[in-house]
Every structure is written in structure tokens, then in C-alpha cells.
Structure 1
Amino acid sequence: MNLIDSHAHIYSEEFVNDRDEAVERALAEGVSKIYMPNIDHTTIDVMLETEHKHPEQCIPMMGLHPCYVTKDFERELYLVEEWLGKRKFSAIGECGIDLYWDKTFFPQQQEALKVQLDLAKKYKLPIVLHTRDSFEETYELVAAAQDGTLRGIFHCFSGTPEQAQKVKELDFLIGIGGVATFKNGGLDKVLPHVALDQIVLETDCPYLAPVPYRGKRNEPVYLPLIAKRVAELSGKTLQEVAEITTQNALNLFKL
């Protein structure tokens, strides 16, 4: 079985003592690629160092996370574009809007997302979207920017079947992670109505570990547990889930 973790912060400090081992554990369970979303300027060096150590498995994105958008966000975005001009990245991300923790910089988050949508078009890259408590706000900006060339992922999707359909109409994918295994995660009411060709798998490690590891550090080795739950909810075989979601990710990231 070949799986792709389309969203993992494997470079984060939670893996400082066993990052290499975590990558090896994932490989042993069939997770062949780990896509790494950037956070801000403080995470770039360690993310690229992780890629350097595992160039075939750990693949970086470049972007500014909405939770790290502050009054000086323009400076961060200048750095993002500077890096995009220096070397190849797999995607713009993660970016978007987060209204869960703090709404103080909501206007700045909107502006930062608009800029990164433009960067995705300019560099012909997919974009990976963070939409915590902000699906409609994020969707509105992406829909306005969609000119037929934008593609990407609504990461950590936890919306409704209707919202999943809106994502599909944008020609975007939904990222499904550990929440699918949660008793009250809500995806049991969504995934039976979503075709596999609209889904990519993700862990979002070190966050949102699937059952039975909920509350503990998440890591890419747990991706098969998410794939198994998607298979149960979609009425497909585990092999079908693995093959289709892997191909979806490969198509999106143009490997």
C-alpha cells in the first residue's frame, strides 16, 4: 500500500528527538511522501533541513499560516515570495483564515490570503488552505480569485456535504485527517457523500492524532488508520482509498 501524507509538520519541535525515526516509521507503513506546509520565517530553515535529510520523502511548501499573520505580515510575505523565486516548492501553504483563536487580525488575514492566491497563480502552484472556523470567509476569497487555474486543498476539512460540494465546484480537494476517526467529528455524515477523487489524506502532525492515539503526538505513521476510516465511511476498500487518494495528491502536486 502506497499512501501520501499531504499535510504534516514533521519538522516541528515535537519531533526534535526522533524526526528521522518518525520518517522511517512512516515509510515502513507505506507512507511514501510527506508534504510539509510552512508556518512563517521561523520554520523555513528546519523545514528545508528536513527536506535535505529526506529529499525523496519530505517535500516543502512555502507560505504564511494565518495564525501568524500580524500587523507586519507584509514583511513575512516578502520573504515567502523571495523564497519562491529562489527554488522550487510543491505548493503555497499553509495559508488561509483562522477565526478560532483570535479575530484581531482578520482583515490582515484576508489580505495575506489574497496575496498568496496571487502567488499561487504567478508560480503555477497549488494552494493549501487553513479554514478553522472560517470556511465561508475563506471560500468567498478563493471563489473570487478562481480564474480556472487555481487548484489546491481545503486542509483539515470538517464541514458539511454542501460545503464539500462547493469545494468540488471550485476544482479543489478536501484534506481528511484524524478528525474522521473521532466519535463526534462529523465526517461520518460527510464522507459517504463525497467521491474519493475529491479526497487527499493528511495527518496534520503533530496535531489531531487519530483514534486510538487521540490526545497524543500525531505522526505520519498513523496515516493508514485515517485511510481505513475513510474506507469504512465511503464504502470502498482500503486499497481503493490508498490508490485514489495517492493519485489525487500526485496529480495535484504535479509529481
Structure 2
Amino acid sequence: MLTDTHTHLYSDAFDEDREQMMQRAKEAGVSRFFIPAIDSSHTQAMYELEAQYPDEVFLMMGLHPTSVKTNYKEELAHVYSQFEQRKFYAVGEIGIDLYWDKSTLDIQKIAFKEQIQLAKKYKLPIVIHCRNAFDEIFEVLETERDENLFGIFHCFTGTLEQAKRAIGFNMKLGIGGVVTFKNGKIDAFLNKIDLQHIVLETDSPYLSPVPFRGKRNESSYLELVCKKVAEIYSVAEEEIAQITTRNSKEVFGI
């Protein structure tokens, strides 16, 4: 049994074949799908996805850093209101992204910090998006470090030193398609990280693993990620699936 800890199954990239895509994922052994939020414009699509697959789909709620704009306070208010109405399994995806827009760094930090505090209020994990922003992410995490801080460093692409530092904040490392890339770099040191700190993800429809790199990603490709991780650790794929699913249950509580 595989768990895709990060997949945007509500994306319009799947509107033409969502049912078939889900069937392929199940046939590949993926039975649990954790769904990150982006902003209020996607909330209804997330709820519709959950209604269609209530036994397999588990929702997060949060404001993605690339959606932190001048109206971020209204977007955060939307996030807070959703938590008052129903259950979620994480606050995410949240964090800092300096690839697309460095000018919003200050408000990205505010939104990140406030959402960490929201997660602590509900005793939930955070799921971190980090792009070109490890130092800034760690700076915020340091201010919030305590026994209630935990979660997943989604799509981890850092160095061994950064991996160890992330783990030091009680984060699992989300390993996806990048681990199969020739220039992905994390394959060179991943086996120096104990498997108890690893979860698997696709981030579909983004970041397809080899040999589908550059094409639409989907959750069935998680088995390719699992296969590569098994090669890196020199253990059976079944063991990787078992351990990483157990790790996901530890994070999400289900």
C-alpha cells in the first residue's frame, strides 16, 4: 500500500480523465491521497473531489506562498473560517517561494508564521512549500520551534545538511519525482537519511518522474518514485511502501 502525501487531484489538468487516473493509481497500489490547498479559488474543487472519493482522499487547508498577495489577509480569513467549519488533516501547503516573486517575502513570512500557529492550535502538521528559500523557511521555523511543531517538508530538494536541519524541526522529507532526475542531486545522499524520516509524494500534476518528466504527473507514478527510493536504500519496494505509509500515518494521524 502506497500513500501519496501530496497531490493536487482537483487540478483542471485531470478534468478530462480523473476517474481513469484514480483507477490507474489504485491499480498501482496507491490507496491514500493527501490533498494540499492553494487558495480560496480551489476550495470548492477540493470539496467536490473529497465527496467523490471519501475513503481515499484527505484534505489539507492553507494558503500557498505564491498566492500570498496584497489580499492575503482575506485569504487567511478564508482558511481560518474553513477550519471552524470542518476537519482537515494538515495546514498546507504553506511556506515561502522566492522563485516567482521576491517582493512579497515580508508578507509571505507573516502568512507562513500565522499558519504555523494555526496548525499548533489544532494540533496538526504543517506541509511546507520551499522554493529558493531554505534560509528564510528555517528562520521562521526557528521562531516557532517547540514540541507542537511537526509536519512534512514537501518536495524536498535541498542538501544533506538542509535535510538534517529540516528533520531537526520534526519534519519528514517529502520525496517525489525529483529523486529520479539525473540532476536531482538528492539521490546522492538520501540513503544517509533514516527511512523513518521519509514520505513519498507526486505533487501531481507537476514534477513527473523519469521517464515521464515534462509530461503531466499523476498518482500512479508514485510506484516509480518508490522503485527509485528502494534502489537508493537497497531494500525491497514493499518495504519502502510499508515504512513510508507508516510514516504518513504518524504525521497525519490517519
State the partner residue of 2:190: 191
- Shift of the alpha carbon at 1:54? 0.1
CA contact (8 A) 1:194 1:234 kept: no
- In 2, Cα distance between the equivalents of 1:224 and 1:182? 15
Letter in structure 1 aligned against 2:203 = D
- In 1, Cα distance between the equivalents of 2:85 and 2:196? 33
CA contact (8 A) 1:65 1:93 kept: yes
State the partner residue of 2:54: 55
Superposition map of 1:91-130 within 5 A? 91-130=90-129
State the partner residue of 1:139: 138
- Shift of the alpha carbon at 1:235? 2.1
Q: Percent identity?
A: 48
- In 1, Cα distance between the equivalents of 2:18 and 2:138? 34
Q: TM-score, normalization: structure 2?
A: 0.98
Q: Does 1:229 align with 2:219?
A: no
Which segments of 5 or more consecutive residues in structure 2 lack a partner in the other structure? none
Which stretches of structure 1, 4 residues or longer, exceed 2 Å deviation after superposition? none
- Shift of the alpha carbon at 1:22? 1.2
The alignment partner of 1:246 has SS state of helix
- Shift of the alpha carbon at 1:143? 2.3
State the partner residue of 2:243: 244
- Shift of the alpha carbon at 1:147? 1.4
The alignment partner of 1:104 has SS state of helix
Letter in structure 2 aligned against 1:136 = D
Aligned residues: 254
Superposition map of 1:208-219 within 5 A? 208-219=207-218
The alignment partner of 1:131 has SS state of strand
Q: TM-score, normalization: structure 1?
A: 0.98
1:24-80, CA deviations, whole angstroms, 9 ceiling, x for partnerless residues?
Answer: 211111101110000000000001100000011111100000001001101000010
Letter in structure 1 aligned against 2:80 = E
Superposition map of 1:19-168 within 5 A? 19-168=18-167
The alignment partner of 1:105 has SS state of helix
Which segments of 5 or more consecutive residues in structure 1 lack a partner in the other structure? none
Q: For the aligned residues, what is the CA RMSD?
A: 0.8
1:212-232, CA deviations, whole angstroms, 9 ceiling, x for partnerless residues?
Answer: 000100000000000110111
- In 1, Cα distance between the equivalents of 2:18 and 2:122? 30
- Shift of the alpha carbon at 1:122? 0.5
